[in-house]
Structure 1
Amino acid sequence: MAVGTLTTVPVPAPRVIDRRVAGGAMLLAPLAAVPLAAAAGLVVAAGTALHLPALATAALALGAVALGSRGLHLDGLADTADGLGASYDRAKALDVMRRGDSGPTGVATLVFVLLVQAGALTGAIGAGHGIAAAVAGVLVGRCTLSMSCARGVPSARPEGLGATVAGSVPRTATIAIAAIAAALATLIPGLPWWRGVVAVALAYTTAAVLLIRCAKRLGGITGDVLGGCLEVSVAAALLALSW
């Protein structure tokens, strides 16, 4: 479920999708995203070796990740922004998010977050640790999914991906994933140990802010909210690693 939901890697469908399977998938999200992180790192390595402009290399790396995830999380970010910006009425906001089109708020938010991601990764490439930043950004963003699906986080709808995964991850497991992410981030090559910890902390904080906002406005999470939280956390992590 983790690989099939978060990447384009062809895998058999799960035999059963229940709360246990859904929670396990969210916990395994960073491992499922390893191919995406590897692709981003390889693109940065190739761009650096070919002496491509740092911004072009960063854009290509982020494009590879988006392609490898079907653009699912970017779509979720745009839909979440449209819903939050459309109306203070919960039902109307959820209806806007359900539509397939993107409004001006969603497009502007998408462009803004992608600019931050690309600009931050460009800075990391220029500073000489672009490969590590690209890999870390992808993986840290997926680590935050367990927080967004932690026990006590409700679903905004009775159906859909949000309803399947909402509240499916034990809080102790969520804390463990965050602690492991912070510990591994201290090993990012070319950077002092605390920079990785700051990247993880900033990613989790940014995702938590959006998560709390959506829970108050929408009544809980949807699949789109998960994608939005993931993308802003990637931007935050890359920003912390950008120099």
Structure 2
Amino acid sequence: MSAGTLTAVPVGAGRVDRTVAGRAMSLAPLVGAGLGLGAALVLLAARALDLPGLLAAALAIGVLALLTRGLHLDGLADLADGLGSGRPAEGALEVMRRSDIGPFGVVALVLVLLVQVAALGGIAEASPAAGAGAVVAAVVAGRLAITLACVPGVPPARPEGLGAFVAGTVPWGAAAGASAGALAAAALAGLAAGPAFAAGCAAAVAVGAGAAAALLHRARRRLGGITGDVLGALAETATTAALVTTAIAAQAG
């Protein structure tokens, strides 16, 4: 279920209930590692062909959008429109249900994609190995944000939909294990560019989780809890914050 929910990879349908959903959300960072590896391979191939770092980064981020069917980006746009509407919770949720994208959503998408490509492009231009590590760490951070949003105590914003199905399904122990695994995976991904950058990649996961936590707090106050769109927005927010952090780490190194 984890791969089927978080990627465009077709998987066989099996038993699906909240217990299975909890396991799937706990494994989200592992799915992120796979997605990040795919993007990293595209980045490395582009740089091996001597393409500019910015173009290589754009291709890598584009592959991520393709592999996820753009669902997380769509969630980001929908949440931006809902929060930007200034309406009470029910009205904001109604805005988020619409299939069109409003001005707040457009601005959020443009800004996030611009920052992601610029941050990753700068790293890849200086060091393809660091760029590969950065994108893996960032995507892992994005999926960890989804895991952490599904712990007990975080309610759904409405009684139906993906948010209601996965809310509160990830036990605290599983969340802690996923966090430790995400930190380790990020550090390992960055190790090819040196120990200092590996530490920066691990720090990027923590920064990404913090940025997502701030957005989650805002969503809970305005909407009452999580929805599928909120989870997507959390993933993109954490990914972006993590990429900016790895860019800073690359500069410092």
TM value normalised by structure 2: 0.92
Asked if structure 1 preserves the Cα contact closer than 8 Å seen for 2:215 and 2:234, the reply is yes
| Separation of aligned partners in 1, 2:220 and 2:14 | 29
| Separation of aligned partners in 1, 2:178 and 2:42 | 27
Q: Secondary structure at the match of 2:13?
A: coil
Amino acid at match of 1:220: G
| Separation of aligned partners in 2, 1:39 and 1:46 | 11
Counting only pairs closer than 5 Å after superposition, residues 204-215 of structure 1 correspond to structure 2 as: 204-215=209-220
Counting only pairs closer than 5 Å after superposition, residues 21-170 of structure 1 correspond to structure 2 as: 21-128=20-127, 129-170=130-171
| Alignment coverage as a number of residue pairs | 242
| Separation of aligned partners in 2, 1:150 and 1:217 | 19
Amino acid at match of 1:214: A
1:17-67 CA-partner distances (Å, limit 9, x unpaired): 222111101011122334422220111111111111111110110000100
Report deviation, 1:179.
2.1
| Separation of aligned partners in 2, 1:152 and 1:232 | 21
Report deviation, 1:185.
2.8
Report deviation, 1:202.
0.5
| Separation of aligned partners in 1, 2:80 and 2:96 | 8
Structure 2 unpaired stretches of 5+:
none
Report deviation, 1:194.
2.7
1:93-142 CA-partner distances (Å, limit 9, x unpaired): 00000011100000101111111111110121023111111122112211
Asked if structure 1 preserves the Cα contact closer than 8 Å seen for 2:54 and 2:125, the reply is no
Structure 1 unpaired stretches of 5+:
none
Report deviation, 1:177.
1.4
Report deviation, 1:200.
1.1
**2:5 aligned with 1:5:** yes
| Separation of aligned partners in 2, 1:38 and 1:148 | 24
| Separation of aligned partners in 2, 1:77 and 1:151 | 23
1:161-181 CA-partner distances (Å, limit 9, x unpaired): 000001111122212211222
| Separation of aligned partners in 1, 2:207 and 2:61 | 20
Asked if structure 2 preserves the Cα contact closer than 8 Å seen for 1:143 and 1:177, the reply is yes
Percent of paired sites with the same residue = 53
| Separation of aligned partners in 2, 1:173 and 1:127 | 37
TM value normalised by structure 1: 0.95
More displaced, 17-26 or 74-83?
Answer: 17-26
* Structure 1 stretches of at least 4 aligned residues deviating more than 3 Å after TM superposition: none
| Separation of aligned partners in 2, 1:169 and 1:53 | 41
RMSD over aligned CA atoms reads 1.3
